Amino acid sequence: MLTQTTTRVLEPSDLGAALAILESEPVANAFVTSRVQVAGLDPWRLGGEMWGWYADGRLRSLCYSGANLVPICATPEAIRAFADRARRAGRRCSSIVGPAGPTTQLWRLLEPGWGPAREVRANQPLMVTEHPSADVEPDPHVRRIGKEEMDVLLPACVAMFTEEVGISPMAGDGGLLYQARVAELIASGRSFARIEDGKVVFKAEIGAATTLACQIQGVWVAPEHRGRGLSETGMAAVLRYALADVAPIVSLYVNDYNTPARKAYARVGFRETGAFMSVLF
């Protein structure tokens, strides 16, 4: 048994203890929890390592280290330990993302060696709802996307990602990993859109899903259709599907400067309960 404060890579046998920590904050941890529930803790299947921080022989905090670096229920002492490990390993991630407090501390420790970042989004309000608003009627034309519609949906997904992140997901490997992720969401029934004349007008996905909470992502309205309220009615439709079919709590996070989106989500029934932070490389 580990009796001192220490950090190590978790193994499949640690799954129960890791899930207990992840599920203690089901909304904030939805992204990583959804991956662990499907893939376990084997690094090859998980797509990265899960680091565990122990104190007095007990697992207290986690940090997912893959395409993203994500601190989970991390205390200040755990953050320092995770930063030390990340510095030794060198940067392998494309972003650091997580609850604003721990992520701010983690980036402060890593920035001297890993910086400068391409962009730091220090305050991304986390919004949550268990009930849809009665004031916004769901768009009846928003529906689940079928596998045969991948070619129709993909250009909208690429446009959304490029607009939001600032780089194209088709760079690097030619978009193979990104296309695989889009296909995965479609196959799992978590991709939704309104399509008119063969083009996507509105789209969104349920990106992370557990039995306790799920997270909506990739909300996008075609530029020529903006200003018509489609983000509200479209989100109301996706929210209806999410609450009925996926989880009792639905969340999302949004950039603090995107005032129109924050107001639209509030009208649909979301309330702000915290904040995330993203560091993009």
153: closest CA among 235, 218, 207?
218
- Tell me the Cα Rg of the chain: 19
**Tens digit of pLDDT per residue, the chain (281 long)?**
545 779 999 999 999 999 999 999 999 999 999 999 999 999 999 999 999 999 988 999 999 999 999 999 999 999 999 999 999 999 999 999 999 999 999 999 999 999 999 999 999 999 999 999 999 999 999 999 999 999 999 999 999 999 999 899 998 788 899 999 999 999 999 999 999 999 999 999 999 999 999 999 999 999 999 999 999 999 999 999 999 999 999 999 999 999 999 999 999 999 999 999 999 99
The pTM is what? 0.92
For residue 281, what are its two tokens? 């490389």
